[in-house]
Amino acid sequence: MAGNTSMRILLSFLQDQVSKPHPVPSYRFWQHYIKNGIEEAGMSYFEIPDVDWAEGLVYDEGSIALQNWKERSWQATINYIKVNRQNIDIFLTYLYPKQIPTDAIEQIQKMGIPCVNFYCDNIREFKTIPAKFRIFDLIWVPEFEALEMYRKAGVKHINLPMPMWVEPELRRSTIFQEKPGVSFIGSKDLLRENLLGQAIQKGLPLSVRGAGWLTQGGDPSAFVAGSVYQKLINQVNFVKQQGLSGLAIKGVQQLNKLPHIPVSEDHIFPSPDFDEYISITQCSMVTLGINRVPTFKRTHHKPLTYSRLRDIEAPMLGACYLTEYCEGIDSLYDTDNEINVYRTVDELVQKATELLHDKEKRDKLRANGQQRALSDHAIPSSLKKIRKAVFGR
């Protein structure tokens, strides 16, 4: 390995080769974060020319198109490594199970290159760890709640924060010119709408922005009619993905729905552009995080929660941050002095109100949370821990 503190990283982190993003959920930010984080760590990265890693997300499991992509992309990867082996210390990837050919990973390992895969939707997507993950020398796991799954499976893993990077000029240490109230930025779903709607009903001065909020619609859990045949097809596909326990939970949720508590229109604002997003996150008196997610692993009345990328990003930007409690959040932060957490809507309203009336505490959370996130949870820190786990130094 070049030097004692550096790593030369062959990188596969959902980079694409197209002008317009592929029709899959947002992914381009990952390569922006990881590349800049690698450079900030004083390390270097290499990319395989002409390989579109994000394209592998477009195709269905088992399809000819996916198989063709795998053959083309992984052959190019093997060829590149053979020519450039002397310049590569480690292969760092963000690969979904369907993208992984274990024989290609084995071939890379036989050339003396450890392979480390990042994956961030473990508890949302998996009931058990995918067999293909066993081939890696190390899995980078950000969710505290997923660690038991990895331990039970005997898959070597390391618990590190989401790979988040913010531009140095956005890490201002000066106190911001605050904007009144509490802000939430994030896409709309039933659980978020229910929580925010209740908080607004209880009098919290809350502004809501993000995808889906300005779209008019009725009860998001409402029944949609369809043919009996299509319902059967949908149910078979659902059981394949979620299992019989997921089908049971789905049935419980249909019988015991959450009350639909909409966010009133006067609290909804247009989705921000990048500069507005940064300004709102940094300058709001209180920036709110929500960690509950709709799944068929838990009922909506007791939802699955896990720490999200925002739990790293908002403190890095110097926000006064109040987020939803989840397992492991208190190992990331001192939840009294660096960020604050809530467990219920009443606690959300109580703690947000306290912060709105206590500028000294807001300033303390901004400064302490930012210092903790930038020193302990940034990509350079994670890469050094990966290097030590893989190489022992």
pLDDT > 90 fraction of the chain, expressed in percent and rounded: 76
Question: What's the average model confidence in pLDDT over 376-382?
Answer: 97
Question: What's the average model confidence in pLDDT over 302-310?
Answer: 83
The answer to whether residue 239 scores a pLDDT higher than 50 is: no
The radius of gyration of the chain from alpha carbons, rounded to an integer in Å, stands at 22
The answer to whether residue 80 scores a pLDDT higher than 90 is: yes
- Provide the pLDDT for residue 177: 86
- Tell me the one-letter amino acid at 347: E
- The least confident of 3-7, 170-174, 380-384 is 3-7
From the list 56, 49, 70, 52, the residue with the least C-alpha distance to 24 is 56
- The least confident of 18-32, 84-98, 294-308 is 294-308
- The least confident of 69-73, 234-238, 298-302 is 234-238
For the chain, give percent helix, strand, coil, nearest 5.
Answer: 45, 15, 40
What's the CA gap between 282 and 176, in Å, rounded? 7
The answer to whether the beta carbons of residues 329 and 307 sit under 8 Å apart is: yes
- Provide the pLDDT for residue 234: 44
**Unique residue bearing structure tokens 């779903």:** 189
- Provide the pLDDT for residue 1: 62
The answer to whether residue 154 scores a pLDDT higher than 60 is: yes
**Unique residue bearing structure tokens 């082996």:** 85
- Provide the pLDDT for residue 293: 85
Question: What's the average model confidence in pLDDT over 4-15?
Answer: 90
Fold agreement between 8-165+378-391 and 168-220+260-376? yes
Question: What's the average model confidence in pLDDT over 154-164?
Answer: 96
- Provide the pLDDT for residue 257: 56
The answer to whether residue 35 scores a pLDDT higher than 50 is: yes
The answer to whether the beta carbons of residues 53 and 72 sit under 8 Å apart is: no
Question: What's the average model confidence in pLDDT over 117-125?
Answer: 90
User: What residues does each domain of the chain span?
Assistant: 8-165+378-391, 168-220+260-376, 230-256
- Provide the pLDDT for residue 127: 85
Q: What is the mean pLDDT of the chain?
A: 88
The answer to whether residue 308 scores a pLDDT higher than 90 is: no
The answer to whether residue 247 scores a pLDDT higher than 60 is: no
Question: What's the average model confidence in pLDDT over 345-367?
Answer: 97
The answer to whether residue 165 scores a pLDDT higher than 90 is: yes
Task: Tell me the CATH class for 168-220+260-376.
Answer: alpha beta
- Provide the pLDDT for residue 249: 41
Token pair for 306: 């896990």
Please report which confidence band the pLDDT of residue 363 belongs to, taking 50, 70 and 90 as the band edges: very high
- pLDDT tens digit string along 212-228? 998 755 444 433 334 44
Cross-strand bridge partners of residue 324: 342
CA distances from 52 to 15, 18, 304, 320 (A): 6, 8, 33, 38
More confident residue, 301 or 183: 183
**Unique residue bearing structure tokens 């409690």:** 325
Domain over 8-165+378-391 is classified CATH 3.40.50.80: no
- Provide the pLDDT for residue 174: 62
Question: What's the average model confidence in pLDDT over 311-329?
Answer: 96
Question: What's the average model confidence in pLDDT over 145-150?
Answer: 93
pLDDT > 70 fraction of the chain, expressed in percent and rounded: 85
The answer to whether residue 237 scores a pLDDT higher than 80 is: no
The answer to whether residue 38 scores a pLDDT higher than 90 is: yes
The answer to whether the beta carbons of residues 160 and 140 sit under 8 Å apart is: yes
The answer to whether residue 246 scores a pLDDT higher than 90 is: no
